[in-house]
């Protein structure tokens, strides 16, 4: 299969491919999604096949407008209405009780719930309208690897496996959406942190949120994407560095073990140690967590093109958007932090 690259002028061509039951990667403000008709079970099965994704992992349904939500759920709690009004379109996914008859069985992975969002990208919403059907849209990458934030990343992982890619440049947020379970309105739970923080949701609703641990083991079925322990992982092992004084110790330790070190950190740290390592990727200025999040997946992917055999990565504060950044980094590293001695 030849994977085509389309621009926004080719929306109708890309939509025709979706209608024919094939796969198209599309941009969003978070990461690039792998689109298929969410009402076509055969098309959805090809998403799992192309990604190498376990079929017990449910998919997020992407819609063009809020009025469509009622078709695919059995109820919309008042508290969900408030979240939708405040944050949609945007990087927020809500999990509702599913109207399973309206969706392909594989979308919900056997669960009684469905995850839905409306992306904050006009091209994406126009594309969904042109398709005339809801789209599943898991990240358009090999399952478990860093998500794609550009059409180039998608092509690297899925060329020859999908019909085409709708190219809209690099994504703005760079991390997947925040996922909130609203199936029990009296006990809202964040299943995956993202650009919309717990604090923002609490301020909007005037309540204190319940926090999930964001994890299930490798055998258990997740209720939302990205909840497995090992996820977002590059080919090289990742070790997190928490304390500033640990950078030199970690470089010395792993070089003594024969590792070729890659550094994933802010500009100041990279400039301090770049003469001692084989590769580096800066995540922006120190303290700029939004830039770090936007560049994170590109950085994790970068090292596969270098001699690096191990990545030392900066650990960030878990305040605000840092919660989402560290959620991805800890899973990429398998929660491995450098410890002296």
Instruction: Give the three-class secondary structure for 163.
Output: coil
How far is residue 194's CA from residue 114's CA, in Å, rounded to a whole number? 18
53 is an annotated ligand-binding site residue? yes
Residue among 55, 26, 301 at smallest CA distance from 163 = 26
What is the CA angle 118-124-127, rounded to 5?
115
State both tokens at 142: 């090999």
Q: Is 213 in contact with 205 (CB distance < 8 Å)?
A: no
232 known ligand binder: yes
Q: Are 154 and 141 in contact (CB under 8 A)?
A: yes
* Half-sphere CA count of 205, side-chain side, radius 13 A: 26
User: Would the annotation count 117 as a binding residue?
Assistant: yes
Return all residues near 200 (Cβ < 8 A) that are at least 6 apart: none
Token reading at 63? 């819609």
Alpha helices for 195-339 (secondary structure H): 198-205, 246-256, 267-273, 289-302, 322-332
Does 139 show up as a binding residue in the annotation?
Answer: yes
> Does the annotation flag 125 for ligand binding?
no
Evaluate whether 79 touches 185 at the Cβ level (below 8 Å). Answer: yes
147 annotated as belonging to a binding site for a ligand:
yes
- 208 CB neighbour count, 10 Å cutoff: 9
CA angle, residues 56, 59, 64, in degrees to nearest 5: 165
Taken as a whole, the chain contains a residue count of: 341
177 is in an annotated binding site: yes
Residue 171 marked as a ligand binder: no
Environment class of 149 (CB within 10 Å of its CB; exposed 0-12, middle 13-18, buried 19+) = buried
Residues paired with 337 in a beta bridge: 240
CA atoms of 100 and 125, how far apart (whole Å): 23
* Residues contributing to the annotated binding site: 30, 53, 57, 62, 117, 139, 147, 177, 192, 232
Which positions make up the binding site for ATP? 53, 57, 139, 147, 192, 232
Q: Which residues are annotated as a binding site for L-threonine?
A: 30, 62, 117, 177
């Amino acid at each position: 299969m030849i994977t085509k690259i389309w621009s926004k002028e080719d929306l109708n061509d890309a939509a025709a491919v979706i209608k024919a039951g094939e796969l198209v990667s599309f941009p969003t403000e978070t990461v690039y999604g792998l689109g298929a008709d969410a009402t076509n079970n055969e098309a959805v099965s090809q998403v799992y096949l192309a990604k190498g994704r376990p079929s017990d992992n449910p998919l997020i349904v992407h819609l063009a407008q809020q009025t469509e939500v009622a078709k695919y759920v059995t109820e919309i709690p008042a508290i969900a209405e408030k979240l939708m009004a405040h944050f949609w379109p945007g990087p927020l996914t809500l999990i509702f009780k599913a109207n399973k008859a309206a969706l392909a069985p594989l979308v919900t992975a056997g669960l009684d719930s469905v995850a839905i969002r409306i992306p904050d990208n006009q091209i994406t919403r126009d594309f969904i309208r042109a398709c005339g059907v809801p789209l599943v849209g898991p990240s358009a990458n090999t399952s478990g690897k860093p998500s794609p934030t550009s059409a180039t990343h998608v092509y690297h992982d899925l060329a020859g496996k999908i019909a085409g890619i709708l190219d809209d440049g690099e994504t703005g947020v760079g991390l997947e959406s925040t996922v909130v379970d609203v199936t029990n309105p009296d006990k809202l739970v964040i299943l995956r942190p993202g650009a919309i923080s717990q604090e923002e949701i609490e301020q909007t609703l005037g309540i204190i949120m319940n926090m999930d641990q964001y994890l299930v083991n490798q055998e258990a079925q997740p209720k939302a994407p990205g909840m497995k322990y090992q996820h977002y992982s590059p080919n090289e092992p990742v070790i997190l560095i928490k304390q500033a004084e640990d950078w030199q110790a970690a470089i010395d330790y792993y070089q003594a073990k024969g590792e070729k070190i890659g550094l994933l950190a802010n500009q100041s740290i990279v400039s301090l140690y770049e003469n001692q390592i084989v590769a580096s990727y800066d995540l922006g200025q120190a303290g700029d967590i939004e830039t770090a999040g936007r560049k994170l997946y590109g950085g994790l992917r970068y090292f596969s093109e270098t001699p690096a055999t191990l990545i030392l990565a900066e650990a960030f504060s878990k305040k605000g958007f840092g919660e989402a950044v560290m959620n991805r980094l800890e899973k990429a590293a398998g929660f491995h932090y450098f410890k002296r001695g």
